Amino acid sequence: MAEHLQGIVGEDRVISDRVSLLCYSSDMSPFTYTPDVVVFPKSTDDVVEIVKYANENKIPIVPRGAGTSVIGAILPRRGGIIIDFTRMNKVKEVRPNDLVAIVEPGIVLDRLNAELAKYGFFFPPDPASSPACTIGGMVNTNASGVRAAKYGTTRNWVLGLEVVLANGEVLRTGWPVIKQSTGYDLTQLFIGSEGTLGVVTEVLLKLAPIPRYRMTITMFFDQLSQAGKAVTEILLSGVRPAAMELLDKLCLDVVNDVFKLGLPSREGFIVMELDGTEGSVKDELRRVEEVAKKMGAKDFNWTDDPKESLKLWTARKALVPSLAKIKEGYVLIPLAEDPCVPISEIEGAIKDFQSIAAKYGIISPTFGHAADGNLHPTMIIDPTNPEEWNKMLKMEREIFDVVLKRRGALSAEHGIGISKIPFAREALGRGLDLMRSLKKALDPNGILNPGKMGLDVETRDDPDNFFYAYLSRLKGEFQALKRAYESIRCFRCGFCRAVCPTFSYFTIESRGARGRVILSYYFLTNKVEASESLRQAYDLCTVCGHCMQVCPPGIKIVDIIEHMRRDLAEKGYINPVHKALGENILKYGNIYGLENAPRGELAKELGGA
């Protein structure tokens, strides 16, 4: 398989060694599945040939962006080929007069917006993973983030797509126009389909002008449900916030600690953004303040200083990976973390989520994009404790019961993937059968991202494919377990990808900080053995520490690298240059400690000029 793919894209754009593949076996979800090969296309033509080969040989293919899915959407559940779009990352065209841009799927959102800012525009959907996530991934899951209440989701800002179908044919959908009524809207069919209907290779985006004025508002409440009620009342007052986030005390205390914000510690916290003209924003500010005070808000403040606002929103975006700081050895398991309820049900849903967490005694921070009813009731557990696993699964069931009872959706922006498969039938009913018919029509061989969305299987129960299951192998090994705990604090958010010099050069996960942390966990838990390939992954690290500067939970990545280098050296895997230097010192002594003349003679003997 690897040899055939090398014939399509070139030898340097296919990886099949075990060490490299393991770095593609996980995302931000609790699942792990390893591909047989990873290929890096540079054009639609490359993708066409890859897909044709896979279809002819009935080999599964999975499109991948930055690996920031929290539902397992980009994991190869049936093995096969991962198509990594990291190298298809161009902004192909910006048309300011039409308010559109054409981009490749591998472009990172923050990088896209930096480019669009030169023209005075931006792409409004704004997930917390914007420093890492790609437009292709956003299209496949219909991602949104903090701005959905005013600006909508990804599907509201995509006008057309280029898609490679399962048989290798290229389909172009949509037009660069504001409205159209020309047949079925095929663009919308592919958005949110998680790569199960086709492989997206180009995206036609609608753009918005950057607002002239922005303001960030903060307010605090004695009860989280009180904050939830305030959200509803502010929206009913006619205010349309550009962003409106709700955090409970656990979340607030974590971001306060990580980013030194100095905010009051209260049970409920709302941070919101208003945008538009200065006059319209200040008019909305008056209404927000009036409603907030009626609802019992404390410490109501606002700022239009871009630097102060950026500090708050950066902290909010880093919240999820920062939650790793709550308790050593505990991890956030994103299973029931993305429901959406009607805005009238926000207060009641929050109360229900809090009652469920109290019933089971599970650490459960709650936060979310409150203005659109998208809440994130997360669960943080000791992954080695079976009792906590069982409680968590019961909590998940009860959380979704609450969501369905309150007329909500299982997922607002993350998708179904693997995580929510057990609840897909209940949520979709006969709609799931129609989805399966569409899937069969477009992908008769079932090669496109199989095992997702309940399209071919309705279970996820395979304990061998839980990322944290390997910790049980370290029972009683205190030092190894402590090191593994440091590795699993990594939520695999990918923020480090943008600052890692070796990842930027190679664009392969095993050459980046995230990949090296994953490999250290697998090495400690005996999933991967010492090898020359593993040594190269760690030796290529420059130990610059840039990854640690952007790592929300502050993982000691440099320590992880140094530990791994020592472990590998003890097993005989040493950089050949270092080994030769050491052997020469043992044989000839330290020439750098000699006077200049003898040193020169020795250098000649060793082959120097």
Q: Which domains does the chain have, with CATH numbers?
A: 2-86 (3.30.43.10), 91-209 (3.30.465.10), 213-405 (3.40.462.10), 467-570 (1.10.1060.10), 576-605 (no CATH)
Q: Is the pLDDT of residue 203 over 60?
A: yes
Asked if residues 81 and 37 have their Cβ atoms less than 8 Å apart, the reply is yes
For 384, half-sphere exposure in the C-beta direction (CA atoms, 13 angstrom radius) is: 15
Neighbours of 475 (CB within 10 A): 8
Question: Roughly what angle, to the nearest 10 degrees, separates helices 478-488 and 513-524?
Answer: 150
The predicted-structure confidence for 84-133, as pLDDT tens digits, reads as follows 999 999 999 999 999 999 999 999 999 999 999 999 999 999 999 999 99
Three-point CA angle 532, 538, 539, nearest 5°: 80
Please count the helices (runs of H) and the strands (runs of E) in the chain: 24, 19
Longest dimension (CA), the chain: 87
Q: How far apart are CA 390 and CA 459, in angstroms?
A: 16
Q: How far is CA 345 from each of CA 44, 150, 288, 440, rounded to the nearest angstrom?
A: 45, 19, 20, 37
For 247, half-sphere exposure in the C-beta direction (CA atoms, 13 angstrom radius) is: 30
Place of tokens 């377990």: 481
Which pLDDT band holds residue 606 (cuts at 50, 70, 90)? low
Per-residue confidence (pLDDT) for residue 593, from 0 to 100? 64
Which helix or strand (DSSP H or E) is residue 81 part of?
strand 81-84
Q: Shortest CA distance to 136 belongs to which of 115, 162, 156?
A: 162
DSSP single-letter state for residue 222: S
Quick one: tokens of 571? 């097993």
Q: Is the pLDDT of residue 445 over 60?
A: yes
Would you list the DSSP string of 156-212?
A: GGEEEEEEE-TTS-EEEEE-SSS---SSS-HHHHHTTSTTSS-EEEEEEEE-EEPPS
Asked if residues 26 and 32 have their Cβ atoms less than 8 Å apart, the reply is yes
The predicted-structure confidence for 221-275, as pLDDT tens digits, reads as follows 999 999 999 999 999 999 999 999 999 999 999 999 999 999 999 999 999 999 9
Q: Is the pLDDT of residue 206 over 90?
A: yes
Place of tokens 């095992």: 451
Per-residue confidence (pLDDT) for residue 592, from 0 to 100? 65
Look at 2-16, 306-320, 551-565, 593-607 and tell me which has the smallest mean pLDDT.
593-607
Quick one: tokens of 81? 């080929």
Asked if residues 536 and 530 have their Cβ atoms less than 8 Å apart, the reply is no
Per-residue confidence (pLDDT) for residue 480, from 0 to 100? 86
The predicted-structure confidence for 457-505, as pLDDT tens digits, reads as follows 999 977 779 999 888 888 668 788 889 999 999 999 999 999 999 999 9
Asked if residues 298 and 264 have their Cβ atoms less than 8 Å apart, the reply is yes
The predicted-structure confidence for 140-159, as pLDDT tens digits, reads as follows 999 999 999 999 999 999 99
Chain mean pLDDT for the chain: 94
pTM: 0.93
Per-residue confidence (pLDDT) for residue 469, from 0 to 100? 87
Q: List helix spans (H) across 237-305.
A: 249-259, 278-294
The predicted-structure confidence for 548-605, as pLDDT tens digits, reads as follows 999 999 999 999 999 999 999 999 999 888 888 888 888 877 766 666 666 566 666 6
Q: Is the pLDDT of residue 609 over 60?
A: no
- Interval 164-189 mean pLDDT: 97
Q: How far apart are CA 183 and CA 234, in angstroms?
A: 39
Per-residue confidence (pLDDT) for residue 331, from 0 to 100? 94
The predicted-structure confidence for 514-528, as pLDDT tens digits, reads as follows 999 999 999 999 999
